[in-house]
Amino acid sequence: MISRYSHKIIPSQVLKWIVAMIILIVMVFPIWWMFNVVFTEPGVPISINPRLYPSSLQAGIDNISQVLSDSKILHAFLISIGYVVFQVIGILLLSSMAAFEFALFKFPGKRFLFMLALLSMMIPAAVTLVPTYLLVVKIGWLNTLQGLVVPGLASAFGLFMMTQFMENLPRELFDAGEIDGLNHFGLFWQIALPLSKNAIITLAILQFVRTWGNYIWPLVIASNQQAYTISQVVGLYNNPMTYTTVNVIMATNLLATLPTILFYFFFQRFILEGIAMTGIKG
């Protein structure tokens, strides 16, 4: 007897799950393979004798210890942390303040300026790379942290995302704030900013991942090894002319990737909530 609670299998749903599983495998397998190579006994050619599981915990610890013993890695981590912290904080502050004005107030040229900011997202980064570099050199910010951070503080995507979110904030709260005596900045700091927590966290995570993995701009602006970010050091290890073994290269890549994986793992819920509440369609 067939249970009345049995569900009919719909081919389209099965196909969606199959496609989703294929995409998941394609995205996760390179990370797992990197982890697998790191935790494999040295001298065992994994390309000849492939395995889908790590074979030696001690080998992985030795590989990671060998990478961390290189002073360039630790210094690059510190540079990258400073780069990410100042860039993310700057973008969050500037984007939220600008979005507050665009979303909740009217002023001459508002629509034109907002469209102009969105149009800047369509300009390839390669077009502005050389002019920005020449400007930074003229200012004297070559091989400096401010040279890395300041040119990227204006984010059109951050402005768009925060504006979309703040447009849905209840206007009654701001009216009540004005009645209570809050000034213009007080309305932003005490009402708009706390209510935009999900959008701010989402933008912070996306910007963290983008900034941590940024390679082109640090490569252009930091010619001195003392100013290298972690992405540049990883590039040095991946250079065929270094004659570094594959397990050490993979250990370097694993250490460079780990912060973004952990950051996303702990805050992924806020990404989904923030994107849903801003109305961005995937």
Query: In the prediction, which pLDDT does 27 show?
Result: 87
- The mean pLDDT value of the chain amounts to 85
Four-point Cα dihedral 120, 192, 208, 142, nearest 10: 60
How far is it, in rounded angstroms, from Cα 8 to Cα 132?
59
Token pair belonging to 114: 């907002």
- Across the chain, how many H-helices and E-strands are there? 14, 0
- The answer to whether residue 230 is domain-embedded is yes
Closest by Cα among 68, 233, 93 to 149: 93
For 104-116, the pLDDT digits (tens) are 888 899 999 999 9
Rounded percentage of the chain residues whose pLDDT exceeds 70? 88
What's the rounded Cα separation, in Å, for the pair 37 and 44?
A: 10
Q: Which pLDDT band, with edges at 50, 70 and 90, does 274 fall under? A: low
Q: Cα–Cα–Cα angle for 273, 274, 276, nearest 5°?
A: 65
Same domain, 51 and 76: no
Provide the pLDDT for residue 8: 67
Q: SS3 for 141?
A: coil
Average pLDDT over residues 117-126: 88
Residue 1 lies in a domain: no
Is the domain of 164 the same as that of 113? Answer: yes
* Number of independent structural domains in the chain: 2
pLDDT band at 198 (very low <50, low <70, confident <90, very high): confident
pLDDT confidence band for 96 (50 / 70 / 90): very high
Of residues 261 and 91, the one with the higher pLDDT is: 91
CATH number reported for the structural domain that contains residue 160 in this entry: 1.10.3720.10
Tell me what the mean pLDDT of segment 50-59 comes to.
Answer: 78
Distance (Å, whole) CA 242 – CA 248:
11
CB 96 within 8 A of CB 196: yes
AA identity, residue 10: I
Q: Quick one: 45 and 102 in the same domain? A: no
pLDDT band at 50; cut points 50, 70, 90: low
pLDDT, tens digit, 9 for 90 and up, residues 133-183 = 999 999 999 999 999 999 999 899 999 999 998 998 888 999 898 888 889
C-beta of residue 217 within 8 angstroms of C-beta of residue 60: no
Do 198 and 173 sit in the same domain of this protein? yes
pLDDT per residue as tens digits for the range 242-263: 777 788 888 888 888 888 888 8
What distance in Å separates the CA atoms of residue 77 and residue 80, rounded to the nearest whole number?
5
Same-domain check for residues 147 and 214: yes
Closest by CA position to 227, among listed 83, 68, 67: 83
* Shared domain check, 28 and 92: no
Note whether 22 and 101 are same-domain residues.
no
Question: Does one domain contain both 99 and 231?
Answer: yes
pLDDT for res 271 = 65
Q: Which range, of 68-82, 146-160, 267-281, averages the lowest pLDDT?
A: 267-281
Write the CB contacts of 101 (distance below 8 Å, at least 6 apart in sequence): 107
Q: For residue 45, what are the domain limits?
A: 11-64
The answer to whether the CB of 204 falls within 8 A of the CB of 178 is no
Residues 8-37: tens digit of each pLDDT: 667 778 888 999 999 989 988 888 888 888
The predicted pLDDT at position 7 comes to 59
pLDDT tops 50 at residue 1: no
